Amino acid sequence: SKDSTFSDIRSIIRPVNFVTPDTPATELFRQLQQGAPHLTLVAYEGNPPIGFITLDNLLSALVGDISDEFRQSQSEWTKLDDGSLLGKGTLPINTLERTLGIDIVSEEADTVAGLILWKLTELPKEGQRIHFDQFDVVVKKMSGPKVLLVRVYPTHQHGHSSNH
């Protein structure tokens, strides 16, 4: 019945924090420190919301982008002397695309480890080499079913081609 749907939704609805666009950032920060929800709607009283602000947005505005260092460490590939790359299996595929300057087709996977599992359809073994169109991946370290560390060898390097 419709009633049970509404009561279900009501049971998970959380109160909304509202501020006006001219609220000082320091005042909103004080509200958030005192337990206001970390997502605040911005509206003039009696009007529909014109947007929202999150604690992250506010902190970035007050002190600069604080999540930058964390994001960088999450997307780090170490370039080795031979042109190969070393990285965690949990790295997003788009970080590999950016680093190599290529597009990787993968509807089924978000991470490099996921890409390997999608290609193999079984768990890889340490030392196993997996071939892709523009690069090879060697699984360097596993922990149970998790691909912890991989080494990527580009096969179509700019200027010269190796591994052929």
Answer whether residue 103 shows pLDDT above 60. Answer: yes
- Domains in the chain and their CATH numbers? 2-63 (3.10.580.10), 75-154 (3.30.465.10)
CA 90 to chain centroid, in Å, comes to: 10
The pTM assigned to this predicted structure is 0.52
CA 9 to chain centroid, in Å, comes to: 29
pLDDT at 67 (0 to 100): 47
Q: Which residues contact 120 (CB under 8 A, 6 or more apart)?
A: 130
Answer whether residue 164 shows pLDDT above 60. Answer: no
CB neighbourhood size of 63 (10 A): 8
Reported as a single tens digit per residue, the pLDDT across 110-152 is 899 989 988 887 889 999 999 999 999 999 999 888 899 999 9
pLDDT at 41 (0 to 100): 92
Question: For residue 151, which phi and psi values (nearest 5 degrees)?
Answer: -125, 125
Answer whether residue 84 shows pLDDT above 90. Answer: yes
In the structure encoding, which two tokens stand for residue 148, read together? 């912890």
Reported as a single tens digit per residue, the pLDDT across 15-44 is 888 999 999 888 888 888 888 777 899 999
Query: 10 burial class (0-12, 13-18, 19+ CB within 10 angstroms)?
Result: exposed
For the chain, what is the mean pLDDT? 82
